Chain A
Amino acid sequence: MSLKARVKIIRAGFELDVLLDVDDGETVAVLGPNGAGKTTLLRALAGLASMDGRVELDGEVLEDSAQGLYVPTERRQIGLVFQDHVLFPHLTVLDNVAFGLQAQGRGDARQVARRWLERNVPRGARLAEEVKTAPLARSHFRSTHRYSLATRRTLDQYRENGYGYLVANRSVRLAYTREAHRYGAEVSFYRDLDRRGCLLFRFRPSEHRAGPVIEIWALDRGTHVCQPPNRRVPRHRFRPSVGSRVPPDDVGAEELP
């Protein structure tokens, strides 16, 4: 799955102008200081920010401002993990997980979500009841688990469509990595990038078992300033702590239709 995009956004005091070309099986991490435009770029790709330019995912044009073409966010195969999760506070933990599947029209969304929760959420005495009844805002859900939920919610789009593109406004953490593996995606975990708030673009490249090619881009004040000389970064430099090992309890995968 390839992504080609030209994103141009001009606002007062801010200008973003990026040319993206990501090949099948490739991962791109975008780095940059606060206000560089990382979030804006992701939002534009997902169709949440109005932009000039063109977004093309796997040959399908999602947006082309010259032709006035715009595929709404909900019909793009682009999953978005928000920086601070943005889980729904009024829904139960279960309904939060099931939301994505329900949006895809899956009748058994809640059963699937329940099975996943039963196997994956660390058990607490209180949790079982809360999952069913209490809105997330009032339940005792630790932030690490929130991350897992947010990612899972987004990853369900892969499950339903068999493909998709994930943009994560946060570097990828362990919980997410385990999830992603179940969908055949290979995601690495970069300790170094975490602190600087990187983004990771990801697509489903199950054919590319050889290991991800990582491309690192630096973004500064809206412009793609450099493609570092080490365009293809040796993986050991960023100490991927999970790498492409598939975690042992590979649930979920069998549940795929």
Chain B
Amino acid sequence: MRRVPAPLIALAGLGLLFFLLPLAGLILRAPWDQAAAGITAPETATALELSLFCSLAATAIALVLGIPLALVLSRMTGKPRKVLRALTTLPMVLPPVVGGVALWLAFGRRGLVGSFLYQAFGLQITFTTAAAVMAETFVAMPFLVIAVEGGIRSLDPRYEEAARALGAGGWMVFARVTLPLLRPAIFSGAVLCWARALGEFGATITFAGNFPGRTQTVPVAVYVALETRPDAAIVLSLILLAVSLAILVGMRDRWLGAL
């Protein structure tokens, strides 16, 4: 390792400490003796179940819509591509609460699409599980799109050309050549997307609200429980931390390579 000036080492250590202390606090102050009971408590189980369902549903939707979107993006050139790409990645930098407000304005009972849905079918999206899934998809899908688009760009175009020269039409080329070759990129994109969806808080609580069993996902439950039952909040936080760690260990090199 090359020499790093001492003041910089000190600052680096401070930065690391800043990361590690909260995690240490979480682990040290956790009510380990009550952890088992906390996990099996009905409220915790409900929130966990809902979180798992919503994040997996969001990932599934992101896969169905995001892969074609990435494909279209990768085939575009010039200005339209830049604009579309910026729009797609906007939710990554947008404060999730703003995303929630935006979703509410679009799909709320008086929103752009929501008012039509309500008047025509009596359908209300806000404050339902569907709203939680939508909020998570909105925030998490860009992660998948970016990862898959990167995968497409690094793909050797001659595989698709060879398939076409062999007489395969557009759909067959996509299903038998492009999609399987993209599997690593799709996998890492889906994991990133799922992790982001699982931790989603701001957009969910804004657009879907906080109804146990319906829209109260784990992050929302943590926030609510912190005031009344801090032990439960800590247990739930530990679960999310464990999931994040598992993903980090499982992905290792892929993590940044995909982006």
Contacts and interface: CB of A to CB of B under 8 A. Distances in A.
Interface stretch (A18-26, A74-82, A123-131): A74-82
Given A74-B167, A90-B181, A100-B167, A80 B162 contact: yes
A80 B160 CA distance: 13
Interface in A225-253: none
A40 to B, nearest CB: 13
A86 B166 contact: no
Contacts of A73: 161, 164-165
B30 interface: no
Given A88-B177, A90-B180, A74 B164 contact: yes
A156 B167 CA distance: 10
Interface in B127-174: 156, 158-159, 161-169, 172
A103 B180 contact: no
Contacts of A100: 166-167
Contacts, number: 59
Contact of B165 (A46, A90, A91, A104): A46
Interface string A38-75: 00000100101000000000000000000000001111
A74 B168 contact: yes
B158 A86 contact: yes
Given A74-B169, A90-B181, A103 B162 contact: no
A185 B19 CA distance: 70
Given A99-B176, A103-B172, A86 B167 contact: no
Nearest to B179: A90
A188 interface: no
Contacts of A104: 167
A157 B166 contact: yes
A100 B164 CA distance: 9
Interface in A121-166: 153-154, 156-157
A103 B163 CA distance: 9
B168 A48 contact: no
Contacts of A89: 181
A80 B165 contact: yes
Q: How large is the interface on B (under 10, 10 to 19, 20 to 34, 35 or more residues)?
A: 10 to 19
Nearest to B168: A103
Most A CB contacts (10 A, CB to CB) among B156, B164, B165, B168 go to B165
B163 A82 contact: no
Contact of B162 (A72, A78, A82, A102): A82
Contacts of B161: 43, 48, 73, 80, 86
A48 B164 contact: yes
A154 B165 contact: yes
A154 B165 CA distance: 8
A229 B158 CA distance: 36
B155 to A, nearest CB: 11
Nearest to B157: A48
A72 B164 contact: yes
Contacts of B156: 86
B168 A86 contact: no
A93 to B, nearest CB: 15
Contacts of A99: 163, 166, 168, 176
Interface in B6-56: none
A176 to B, nearest CB: 16
Contact of B167 (A43, A48, A91, A157): A157
A144 B1 CA distance: 45
B159 A103 contact: no
A215 to B, nearest CB: 24
Nearest to B167: A103
Given A74-B167, A89-B181, A157-B166, 14 more contacts: A43-B161, A48-B161, A75-B167, A80-B165, A82-B158, A86-B162, A88-B159, A91-B176, A91-B180, A102-B172, A103-B166, A103-B172, A156-B166, A157-B167
Interface of A: 43, 46, 48, 72-75, 78-80, 82, 86, 88-91, 99-100, 102-104, 153-154, 156-157
22 contacts: A43-B161, A48-B165, A74-B167, A75-B167, A78-B165, A80-B162, A82-B162, A86-B159, A86-B161, A88-B159, A88-B163, A88-B177, A90-B181, A91-B180, A99-B176, A100-B166, A102-B172, A103-B167, A103-B169, A154-B165, A156-B166, A157-B167
10 nearest A-B residue pairs (beta carbon): A103-B167, A103-B168, A80-B165, A73-B164, A100-B166, A86-B162, A90-B180, A74-B164, A86-B158, A74-B167
